[in-house]
Amino acid sequence: MRPFDRWAVGLTVPAVLLTTLFYVLPIAQVLVLSVTEPAPGLANYEQLLGSRAVARVVMTTLEVSLWTTALTIAASYVVAYALVQMRPSVRRVALFMVLVPFWISVLVRAFSWITILRREGLVNLAVTGLGIVDEPLQLVHNRTGVIIGMVHYMMPFAVLLIYANLAGIDRRIMQAGRSLGARPMTVFWKLWVPLSAPGIAVATLFVFIFSLGFLITPTLLGAGRTVMVAEYISVQITNTLRWGVATGLSTMLLVAVGFVVFIAMRQPALRAAFSGRQG
Amino acid sequence: MSFLVARDLRKTYGPVTALADIGLDVEEGEFVTLLGPSGSGKTTLLMAIAGFTRPDSGTISLAGRDITGVEPEDRDFGFVFQGYALFPHMSVADNIAFPLKVRKWDRARVDARVEEMLGTVGLADLARRKPRELSGGQQQRVAIARALAFHPKILLLDEPLSALDRTLRETMQRELKRLHRQTGVTFLYVTHDQEEAIAMSDRIAVFQKGRIVQVGAPRDLYYAPSTRFVAGFLGVNNLVDARLVRGADGAVEIEALGARVALPPGKVADLPEGPATVFMRPEDIALEPTPGEPALAIAGTVADVSFVGSFDLVVIEPRGGPEITAHLPADRTRALPVGAPITVFVRADAIGVVPNT
Ligand SMILES: Nc1ncnc2c1ncn2[C@@H]1O[C@H](COP(=O)(O)OP(=O)(O)OP(=O)(O)O)[C@@H](O)[C@H]1O
Ligand SMILES: [Mg+2]
């Protein structure tokens, strides 16, 4: 190794130490706790697998995460596609607006959504005022509210991931398509969509995994009626002090995420995304 | 009226004038090349004809019909892009089938045509490959097959060979000429390589700063360039500042490189007396005058001699002007050490005169 390389490797040592100390060790501790607390053995897992409450929480988590992923990807694709078509000057402004939510705390965003979506909120005032519906819509403190909040939280990430992919596609390919006689719909479905498969795949995986672990948004917007895994774990730790159950469920979430990633990485589109080529 | 007609096309990008009053006529089945240096507007014109660039003013018509406002997908023009722009997620066969499927050809007809096109460009064995699994030359053939598959009215090609190495480029030039003959499709071809343009085209349109400065058959442009720019761009030419002197009896003399010669009558009928540019081809420069013919006798010293095959390339530094290049027979150059004095002769009828601008 040249001195420079030795230096470069040396510079990563603090990061390795920090990660080990504050990330790897706590996770290991979670694993250990799940098989030792309150008594050594697999009792926690037996209890988790047999519990109807846990089954319901897991189902809710899966359903909410799938809905969030589907809606986020669809909406983000529209935004990203529009971004790519914009003139550079307009695009700068639009990208800025996509990024704004990053600077607003997730708590503030959740409370803002409550004020907008509640019975006397802006949306309900509008739709009842305009006579579109007679009764105010139930938009918050339920699954709908949770999904709205989560989609809003995830969209900037998904927009940026998909936009990066779309912006890298050679525009001459679309021109080639048109010169060969393809109309806008054909260009979109046969060229844009397949060529952005790697971006869609990465964004889908990212949003889905992120959604599985959401805590604050479902807690506030679900108001106890839509309980997801993270909130359930949090309650076990802070309220009922069942550390064994909490760490067991955490471990299962970790394994589930690992499994999703493993399956996903076998897909050609994702492999393409990580090897940096198209199609 | 010609098949494809462009009239008074203008296109500006901010302060840049990409096209300035372009007019071009192309006959059906012709092979026309747009030749010019980088940034002279060739791609812009091609994109305007394809429909991707809307000109600021002017019209484009095809077979008498105005198509200026027609969308690219409705023009039925094949386009071979610089870099080919193949669909990376489709196989070679699917790339070629794409224009046929969007035209809703039935399955059997699509398959037959794809087969035929693969045969035409010699890629029958590679039908199932993806574009990234092909060499540059093979990708090129796919792009051409795809653009010709649907019987386009015109094939537009933007520097299709610029990414290929020299030998492959020559093979592909012959291949393209064969395809042009075989299909009878009108080819509009962009290049900045003058040898390529001369070798392939029926006619060449020379671009300079958004204008077409001369259009003609390769031979016409080569032997009778109309401006200094065209003379310099086509073929290796010695361009030299000169003075035109008109005598009382209508005789015209040219004064260049410290020498003077009378030109044959009629050679420069429309040029005024005064400064002009003279061009001389390296192959027209000789060590002796042709007996009985007036010649410009240029005296100077040998600056460099290099062997290039059938002749030697000799750089001469004349007493009164810039260096000129001559092709001299190899058996005569052994006696020409660098620095030796030399006098060379150019027949008066081999001297070309163009205006200075
Ligand atoms: N989209 C654009 N925006 C701004 N300027 C442009 C655009 N397209 C072309 N131009 C300008 O117009 C002029 C002509 O460009 P064009 O691409 O037609 O040249 P070209 O002859 O094809 O050159 P090359 O041989 O380098 O491909 C150039 O000065 C170029 O910078
Ligand atoms: Mg160009």
For B19-65, how does the pLDDT look when each residue is reduced to its tens digit (9 = 90+)? Answer: 999 999 999 999 999 999 999 999 999 999 999 999 999 999 999 99
- Do A186 and B102 lie within an 8 Å CB cutoff? yes
A186 belongs to a structural domain: yes
Look at residue A258 and tell me whether its pLDDT is greater than 80. Answer: yes
A176 Cβ under 8 Å from any chain B Cβ = yes
Report, as an integer, the average pLDDT of A12-39. Answer: 90
Report, as an integer, the average pLDDT of B143-149. Answer: 96
Are A124 and A252 members of one domain?
yes
B82 contacts in chain A (CB < 8 Å): 172
Residue A147's Cβ-side half-sphere holds a number of Cα atoms within 13 Å equal to: 17
Residue B223: predicted pLDDT: 84
Distance of CA B78 to the CA centre of its chain: 20
Q: How far is CA A279 from CA A162, A275, B130, B139, B250, in A?
A: 15, 11, 9, 16, 72
Percent residues over pLDDT 70 in chain A = 99
Residue A279: predicted pLDDT: 43
Q: Select the more confidently predicted residue: B335 or A237.
A: A237
Identity of residue B97: A
pTM for this prediction: 0.83
- Do B85 and A178 lie within an 8 Å CB cutoff? no
Are A127 and A166 members of one domain?
yes
Percent residues over pLDDT 90 in chain B = 54
Look at residue B322 and tell me whether its pLDDT is greater than 90. Answer: no
- Do A180 and B146 lie within an 8 Å CB cutoff? yes
Q: Which of A117, A106, A230, A108 is nearest to A157 (CA)?
A: A106
Q: Which atom of ligand 1 is nearest to the CA of B37?
A: 25
B192 lines ligand 1 (CB under 6 A): yes
Q: Which residues pair with B254 in a beta bridge?
A: B244, B261
What would you report as the CA-atom Rg of chain A, rounded to the nearest whole angstrom? 23
- Measure A267 CA to nearest chain B CA, in Å: 15
A20 Cβ under 8 Å from any chain B Cβ = no
Domain that holds residue A19: 1-36
- Measure A184 CA to nearest chain B CA, in Å: 9
CB pairs under 8 A between A and B: 75
For the ranges A136-140, B244-248, B297-301, the lowest mean pLDDT is seen at: B244-248
Interface test mutation site (partner B, options A180, A187, A277, max chain B beta carbons within 10 A)? A180
Q: Which atom of ligand 1 is nearest to the CA of B47?
A: 18
Q: How far is CA B286 from CA A86, B54, B199, in A?
A: 62, 52, 26
Using CA coordinates, name the residue in chain A closest to B155: A179
For the ranges B257-266, B279-288, B297-306, the lowest mean pLDDT is seen at: B257-266
A46 belongs to a structural domain: no
CB B83 within 8 A of CB B163: yes
B53 lines ligand 1 (CB under 6 A): no
Are A55 and A79 members of one domain?
yes
B78 contacts in chain A (CB < 8 Å): 179-180
Are A32 and A59 members of one domain?
no
Report CA(A148)–ligand 1 centroid distance (Å): 46
Distance of CA A11 to the CA centre of its chain: 32
Are A57 and A156 members of one domain?
yes
Identity of residue A190: K
* pLDDT bracket for residue B188 (50, 70, 90): very high
A179 contacts in chain B (CB < 8 Å): 50, 52, 72-73, 75, 77-79, 147, 156
A179 belongs to a structural domain: yes
Beta-carbon contacts of B199 under 8 Å, excluding residues fewer than 6 positions away, are: B173
HEC-encoded secondary structure of chain B: CCCEEEEEEEEEECCEEEEEEEEEEECCCCEEEEECCCCCCHHHHHHHHHCCCCCCEEEEEECCEECCCCCHHHCCEEEECCCCCCCCCCCHHHHHHHHHHHCCCCHHHHHHHHHHHHHHCCCHHHCCCCHHHCCHHHHHHHHHHHHHCCCCCEEEEECCCCCCCHHHHHHHHHHHHHHHHHHCCEEEEEECCHHHHHHHCCEEEEEECCEEEEEECHHHHHHCCCCHHHHHHCCCCEEEEEEEEECCCCCEEEEECCEEEEECCCCCCCCCCEEEEEEECHHHEECCCCCCCCEEEEEEEEEEEEECCCCEEEEEEECCCCCEEEEECHHHHCCCCCCCEEEEEEEHHHCEEECCC
What is the rounded CA–CA span in Å between residue B240 and residue B354? 10
Q: How many domains does chain A have?
A: 2
Residue A253's Cβ-side half-sphere holds a number of Cα atoms within 13 Å equal to: 28
What is the rounded CA–CA span in Å between residue B229 and residue B232? 5
Q: How far is CA A276 from CA A165, A169, A273, B84, B252, in A?
A: 10, 12, 5, 20, 68
| Average pLDDT, rounded, for chain A | 91
- Which protein residue's CA is at the shortest distance from atom 27 of ligand 1? B38
What is the rounded CA–CA span in Å between residue A172 and residue A170? 5
**Number of other residues whose CB lies within 10 A of the CB of residue A63:** 14
- Measure A181 CA to nearest chain B CA, in Å: 4
Q: Which helix (H) or strand (E) holds A159?
A: helix A143-167
Q: How far is CA A250 from CA A154, A245, A246, A261, B224, in A?
A: 22, 8, 6, 17, 84
What is the rounded CA–CA span in Å between residue A274 and residue A165? 12
**Number of other residues whose CB lies within 10 A of the CB of residue B155:** 22
CB B347 within 8 A of CB B290: yes
What is the rounded CA–CA span in Å between residue B257 and residue B264? 19
Are A3 and A123 members of one domain?
no
Mode of pairing for the β-strands spanning B65-66 and B16-26: unpaired
Report, as an integer, the average pLDDT of B296-302. Answer: 88
CB A236 within 8 A of CB A242: yes
Mode of pairing for the β-strands spanning B77-80 and B154-158: parallel
Residue A277: predicted pLDDT: 55
- Do B76 and A181 lie within an 8 Å CB cutoff? yes
Question: What is the token pair recorded at A168?
Answer: 């890298």
Q: Which of A71, A81, A260 is nearest to A165 (CA)?
A: A81
Are A27 and A67 members of one domain?
no
- Measure B90 CA to nearest chain A CA, in Å: 8
pLDDT per position as a tens digit, B195-240: 899 999 999 999 999 999 999 999 989 888 888 899 888 876 788 8
Residue with tokens 């007493």: B319
User: What is the SS3 assignment for A228?
Assistant: coil
Q: Which of A106, A77, A70 is nearest to A216 (CA)?
A: A106
Using CA coordinates, name the residue in chain B closest to A170: B85
Instruction: Using CB atoms within 10 Å of the CB of residue A214, give its burial: 0 to 12 exposed, 13 to 18 middle, 19+ buried.
Output: buried
Q: Which of B153, B148, B215, B208 is nearest to B178 (CA)?
A: B148
* pLDDT bracket for residue A155 (50, 70, 90): very high
Are A120 and A243 members of one domain?
yes
Report CA(B83)–ligand 2 centroid distance (Å): 11
Look at residue B333 and tell me whether its pLDDT is greater than 80. Answer: no
CB B70 within 8 A of CB B49: no
Question: What is the token pair recorded at A238?
Answer: 């802070």
- Measure A189 CA to nearest chain B CA, in Å: 12
Q: Which of A176, A183, A197 sits opposite B81 (nearest CB)?
A: A176
Are A31 and A130 members of one domain?
no
Backbone angles phi and psi of B36, in degrees to 5: 175, 165
A14 belongs to a structural domain: yes
For the ranges A120-129, A251-260, B37-46, B332-341, the lowest mean pLDDT is seen at: B332-341
Residue B98: predicted pLDDT: 97
CB B45 within 8 A of CB B9: yes
A45 belongs to a structural domain: no
- Measure B133 CA to nearest chain A CA, in Å: 12
Q: Which atom of ligand 1 is nearest to the CA of B210?
A: 14
Backbone angles phi and psi of B61, in degrees to 5: -135, 150
Residue with tokens 């031979």: B219
Residue A135: predicted pLDDT: 87
- From chain B, which residues contact A within 8 Å (Cβ)? 50, 52, 71-79, 81-83, 85-90, 98-99, 102-103, 130, 132, 146-147, 150, 156
Mode of pairing for the β-strands spanning B341-347 and B238-246: unpaired
For position A248, which CATH number holds?
A: 1.10.3720.10
Residue A276: predicted pLDDT: 59
- Do A170 and B85 lie within an 8 Å CB cutoff? yes
A44 belongs to a structural domain: no
A150 belongs to a structural domain: yes
B36 lines ligand 1 (CB under 6 A): yes
B35 lines ligand 1 (CB under 6 A): no
Are A129 and A225 members of one domain?
yes
A200 contacts in chain B (CB < 8 Å): none
- Which protein residue's CA is at the shortest distance from atom 25 of ligand 1? B38
Residue with tokens 């393209």: B176
Beta-carbon contacts of A76 under 8 Å, excluding residues fewer than 6 positions away, are: A155, A158, A159, A161, A162, A203
Are A112 and A192 members of one domain?
yes
Backbone angles phi and psi of A179, in degrees to 5: -65, -25
For the ranges A188-202, B167-181, B188-202, B242-256, the lowest mean pLDDT is seen at: B242-256
Q: How far is CA B187 from CA A173, B202, B203, in A?
A: 21, 10, 11
- Do B147 and A182 lie within an 8 Å CB cutoff? no
A41 belongs to a structural domain: no
Highest mean pLDDT among A52-66, B161-175, B293-307: A52-66
Interface test mutation site (partner A, options B46, B52, B76, B87, max chain A beta carbons within 10 A)? B87
* Sign of the torsion angle spanned by Cα atoms B180, B181, B185, B190: positive
User: What is the SS3 assignment for A58?
Assistant: helix
Are A74 and A139 members of one domain?
yes
Identity of residue A138: Q
Report CA(B180)–ligand 2 centroid distance (Å): 22
Mutate to test the pocket of ligand 1, among B22, B33, B43 (most ligand atoms within 8 A of CB): B43
